[in-house]
Structure 1
Amino acid sequence: MQALDISEVAGRSGVPASALRFYEEKGLIASIGRRGLKRIFAPDVIERLALIALGRAAGFSLAEIGGMFAADGTMRLDRTLLNAKADRLDATIRKLGILRDGLRHAAACPAPSHMECPTFRRILKGAAARRPARKQAEGIR
């Protein structure tokens, strides 16, 4: 397969040209030259962009994703980092499951007022107890 210009890469990958230029600036991808004013990329950039998209979907920062590539462009996965991210995803999934269940309960609760529902009040109390710690961790005052 021959080299692809930036518009071809954008079309095939679904990544806007502006993001491709940003990724190049951050060292995540590299052009191999120019065709007129357009950047040219090796065909394997499509696969690399797919790996970047996968990393972003998993919640990795661009710096973390950049660290997953060796200087020669090959993958260099830190299994400890992958396991830590999977653990954080598990925790998020648990929290979201609890939130989902609470919303479903609130939607179906037969109590005349949600404030009269013991389950809803327990959910409310739990949310209030977690909020200050989250604000502090995020640096919000």
Structure 2
Amino acid sequence: MKRLDIGEVAAATGIRPSALRYYEEIGLIASVSRHGLRRQFEPRVLLQLKLIALGRMAGFSLDDIAGMFGSDGVPALSRPLIRQKADEIEQQIGELTALRDTLRHVADCPAPSHLECPTFRRLLDAAVRRETARTSRRVPAGSRGQGEA
């Protein structure tokens, strides 16, 4: 079986060699040997790197992605984790759609002043409600496990 050196993997995927070395360092991929100083990979690393790219694009952390590979490097995808991420993306799509619609209204509003426009004022109120709901789902880093003062 032909092995690919790090330069060939970088050329085939567009991923910098430094990133490939980092991925190897944290255990996402593994080289199988060296030819001189150049790492050698089995061709299946290309599939692994595509899955890593998809996971990153979906917003998974590198730790999450590492958990999606078995010890042999074969994908072991967690359907519940993927479903949860899909739900998060669906929520983001809704928020971004509302933001897009608000910006389009602001750009096209015929009112002399945006503050005179009842639609704009409703959109502002809705934006504040969405932002308040979004930020209330997060726990501030400094307040975890601490009581009130």
Give per-residue Cα distances to partners, 1:39-62, cap 9 Å, x unaligned: 111111111100100111111111
In structure 2, the residue matched to 1:6 is: 6
Structure 1: give runs of 5+ residues left out of the alignment: none
Question: Shift of residue 136 of structure 1?
Answer: 8.1
1:54-73 superposed matches below 5 A: 54-73=54-73
Change (3 A) 1:138 1:18: farther
Which amino acid letter does the alignment assign opposite residue 128 of structure 1? V
In structure 2, the residue matched to 1:25 is: 25
1:140, 1:125 → 2: CA distance?
27
2:25, 2:122 → 1: CA distance?
49
Structure 2: give runs of 5+ residues left out of the alignment: 143-149
Q: What TM-score results when the alignment is normalised by the length of structure 1?
A: 0.91
SS of residue in 2 equivalent to 1:19: helix
Give per-residue Cα distances to partners, 1:78-104, cap 9 Å, x unaligned: 111111111111100011010011111
In structure 1, the residue matched to 2:138 is: 137
2:72, 2:47 → 1: CA distance?
15
Q: What TM-score results when the alignment is normalised by the length of structure 2?
A: 0.86
Q: Structure 1 vs Structure 2: percent identity of aligned residues?
A: 54
Which amino acid letter does the alignment assign opposite residue 87 of structure 2? D
**Bigger shift: residues 60-69 or 128-137:** 128-137
Question: Shift of residue 131 of structure 1?
Answer: 4.0
Question: Shift of residue 126 of structure 1?
Answer: 2.8
SS of residue in 2 equivalent to 1:31: coil
Count of paired positions? 141
Q: Do structure 1's residue 114 and structure 2's residue 114 form an aligned pair?
A: yes
Which amino acid letter does the alignment assign opposite residue 27 of structure 1? G
1:138, 1:18 → 2: CA distance?
35
Question: Shift of residue 135 of structure 1?
Answer: 7.9
Which amino acid letter does the alignment assign opposite residue 140 of structure 2? G
Question: Shift of residue 140 of structure 1?
Answer: 7.8
Change (3 A) 1:84 1:109: same
Question: What is the CA RMSD across the aligned residues, in angstroms?
Answer: 1.9
